[in-house]
Chains A and B, each alone.
Chain A
């Protein structure tokens, strides 16, 4: 069966510090991968998605970046965090089926607080 891992679970960082959040998927190959941010009362905001190694689509311009160095690894980064980067970050994967029906499976999330 497939599993998705995120770490760390919680993170407190000062403004201006770098960020690296990691997401890995087990039990599947060639998944689509996604990063979302969830701010209180604002639903899920898609930040990045990837359909393959080195292929990243950015949905929202910001000071965050994403990379996919391996098939089942997705990393969210920032060189300098802002207060507005605080939130709950969710990673998800989907089977990447052509034509749709790509239900997404979510990781447990990372709570980021920028002080």
Chain B
């Protein structure tokens, strides 16, 4: 079965700074990869997904992620963070079972 690791539990960045959230997966074949965002007390919203093709995928709210097979990674990036980006971010992988989620990275944004 597949698994996901998000090494960073909590990250704090300044507004306007760049952001990278790390995600590593384990799966024997090419996985389907997702990033979701969750605001406090809300459900999860899909930011972007990778199924095949171009390894750099663009998502909503100015986010992008790059699939690197050699590193088994799918890191999420944003060039300039806004205060409204403060939330919990989840990486997920679909393999031979339903989506498996990482434990999440909480993003705080300071002025």
List residues of A whose CB falls within 8 A of some B CB: 32, 34, 41-44, 46, 49, 88, 90, 92, 94, 100-109, 111
Q: Which chain B residue has the least Cβ–Cβ distance from A91?
A: B43
Tell me the complex Cα distance, A103–B13, Å. 29
The answer on a CB contact under 8 Å between B44 and A90 is yes
Q: Which chain B residue has the least Cβ–Cβ distance from A109?
A: B43
Which residues of A are found within 8 Å of B9, using beta-carbon distances? 41
B5 to chain A, nearest CB (A): 11
Given A100-B32, A100-B94 in contact, is the A107-B101 Cβ separation under 8 Å?
Answer: no
Q: Which 7 A-B pairs have the closest CB atoms?
A: A43-B103, A106-B43, A106-B44, A44-B101, A108-B43, A101-B51, A109-B43
The answer on a CB contact under 8 Å between B104 and A43 is yes
Given A42-B103, A43-B104 in contact, is the A111-B98 Cβ separation under 8 Å?
Answer: no
A33 to chain B, nearest CB (A): 11
The answer on a CB contact under 8 Å between A109 and B99 is no
Which residues of A are found within 8 Å of B95, using beta-carbon distances? 100
The answer on a CB contact under 8 Å between B41 and A43 is no
Q: Which chain B residue has the least Cβ–Cβ distance from A32?
A: B98
Contacting residues of chain B (23-39) with chain A, CB-CB under 8 angstroms: 32, 34, 36
| Among B9, B42, B45, residue most surrounded by chain A Cβ atoms (within 10 Å) | B42
Q: Which chain B residue has the least Cβ–Cβ distance from A6?
A: B43
| Among B9, B32, B49, residue most surrounded by chain A Cβ atoms (within 10 Å) | B32
The answer on a CB contact under 8 Å between A44 and B98 is no
The answer on a CB contact under 8 Å between B51 and A46 is no
Sample (14) of A-B pairs whose CB atoms are under 8 Å apart:
A32-B98, A34-B98, A41-B9, A43-B102, A43-B103, A100-B32, A100-B94, A101-B32, A102-B99, A103-B46, A104-B44, A106-B43, A106-B44, A109-B42
The answer on a CB contact under 8 Å between B101 and A43 is yes
| Among A88, A90, A100, residue most surrounded by chain B Cβ atoms (within 10 Å) | A100
